[in-house]
Amino acid sequence: MCAFNKSLKRLLATGLVAFFGVVYSTSALAVGTAADTDINNFATVDFKVGGVDQTAVPSNTTTFKVDQVVDLTVAEADGVDTNVSPAETGAVARFTVTNTGNATQDFNLSVADLTSGSVFGNPDSIQADALTIVIDANGNGVYDAGTDLVQTFIDELSAVSGSNQVYVFVLADIPVDAVDGDAANIQLTATAHKAGAAGSLGAVEAESGVNDDAGLQIVFSNNTGTADDSYLVGAATLDAVKTSQVVSDPLLNTFPAALAIPGAIVEYAITITNNGGAPATELVISDVIQSDLTFETGNYSSEDVEITKRDGTVVTCTADTGDSDGDGCGLAGSTLTVSIPTAVDSDGISVLALANAPQNEVVIKFQVSIN
């Protein structure tokens, strides 16, 4: 213990030493401090002699540059396939490209039509045409024709969090002969380039070969990113089945005993079913009444045609000449026409769109008499 105390006294007489470093704060960049930032650091020695403060002794200053990290993320923006229709033009798939490095970068973009494999569980079965890359110009994440930029590179994308992401749209034309369930799979690729002059694509970014404190080094975390999307075709596949039954005859028989004899009343039912994956809209059903039949009127709540909508509710309409009352039913000569619009009309006969089951069926009924 005595030896220890003597050593401690010698240390106190010689001086008390303290070390201090420079503290700096990081910016709001994706991976911290901006590239090419100089970090300066030194130490200070404070001491006393005989209990008296002495002049602090500074160390030399060391300097190094923060190297540039090249990193990016490419992602499909919606997390699901892009629903399209046969023969659709300019179908929009949405992606995001995010600069996750620590310096502003340009990014070159390319898109490929995949010919194999599966995206979102959809095996590639058709090829998309006229693939076009468009950059979101107003940052709303929605494709705006005439506003967004048809351009194959992202210009000067910041690394500051909150402004380091941009939406990229890929437009495509879907083949006319595509059928329900077909898929055209695509892949978007982004590659880091130097931030060149505004409005032009900079040179390809390359890693540095030498590591030193004074110079700026380019380090690749990830200089190329890809993401896939699937244009999934949903087509309306309609079946129309027409049936008939004799509801009454002049001998006062009724269904099912009624006979198909002159003067008998026959009811036709047309059942339209959509077995496809996309809604069928604006249906128009036409039926030519043969010359040995006469169209009967007023048999459905004093009207001529009964429509069972896809939700099961029933409405009626009048088959007047040229559909003069605008209720969707018309009779031109011997041709009965029933129009089923997408929007609900004033008479409420709309079935909206025939989509997937269970609400994928509409039934049209009318009656005729045998001449």
Distance CA 276, CA 237 (A): 4
Q: Is the pLDDT of residue 205 over 70?
A: yes
Please list, in sequence order, all residues whose beta carbon lies within 8 angstroms of the beta carbon of residue 333, skipping any fewer than 6 positions away.
none
Q: Is the pLDDT of residue 116 over 80?
A: yes
pLDDT value, residue 322 = 84
Indicate the pLDDT class of residue 313, thresholds 50, 70 and 90.
confident
Write out the two tokens for 221: 């975390």
Q: Among 86-95, 137-146, 209-218, 302-311, which is the least confidently predicted range?
A: 209-218
pLDDT value, residue 347 = 44
Task: For residues 181-201, give the mean pLDDT.
Answer: 94
Indicate the pLDDT class of residue 305, thresholds 50, 70 and 90.
very high
In order of start, what are the domains of the chain with their CATH numbers?
2-66 (no CATH), 70-204+216-233 (2.60.40.10), 238-370 (2.60.40)
Q: Is the pLDDT of residue 9 over 90?
A: no
Write out the two tokens for 48: 């006393």
Write out the two tokens for 348: 């409420």
Task: For residues 315-320, give the mean pLDDT.
Answer: 90
Which one, of 233, 258, 231, 229, lies nearest residue 246 by Cα? 258
For 273-285, letters b (16+ CB in 10 Å) and e give bbebbbbbeebeb
Q: What is the pTM of this model?
A: 0.70
For 24-74, what is each residue's pLDDT tens digit? 434 466 567 887 778 889 899 998 999 999 999 999 888 877 888 899 999
The DSSP secondary-structure symbol of 29 reads B
Number of H helices, E strands in the chain: 1, 29
For 294-317, letters b (16+ CB in 10 Å) and e give ebbbebbeebbbbbbbbeeeebbb
CB 278 within 8 A of CB 291: no
Average pLDDT over the chain reads 86
Output the CA angle 179-243-358, nearest 5 degrees.
50
Task: For residues 331-352, give the mean pLDDT.
Answer: 67
- Secondary structure (H, E, C), 307-323: EECCCCCEEEECCEHHH
CB 295 within 8 A of CB 289: yes
Distance CA 121, CA 183 (A): 10
pLDDT value, residue 38 = 82
Distance CA 353, CA 157 (A): 43
Q: Among 9-18, 23-32, 137-146, 211-220, which is the least confidently predicted range?
A: 9-18
For 148-162, what is each residue's pLDDT tens digit? 999 999 999 999 989
Indicate the pLDDT class of residue 291, thresholds 50, 70 and 90.
very high
Burial class (CB in 10 A: 0-12, 13-18, 19+), 37: middle
Helix (H) or strand (E) holding 295: strand 293-295
Distance CA 30, CA 176 (A): 44
Q: Among 14-18, 34-38, 55-59, 231-235, which is the least confidently predicted range?
A: 14-18
pLDDT value, residue 341 = 61
Partnered with residue 340 across adjacent β-strands are: 283
Write out the two tokens for 216: 């700026």
HSE (CB half, 13 Å, CA atoms) of 107? 35
Distance CA 107, CA 136 (A): 14
CB 361 within 8 A of CB 309: no
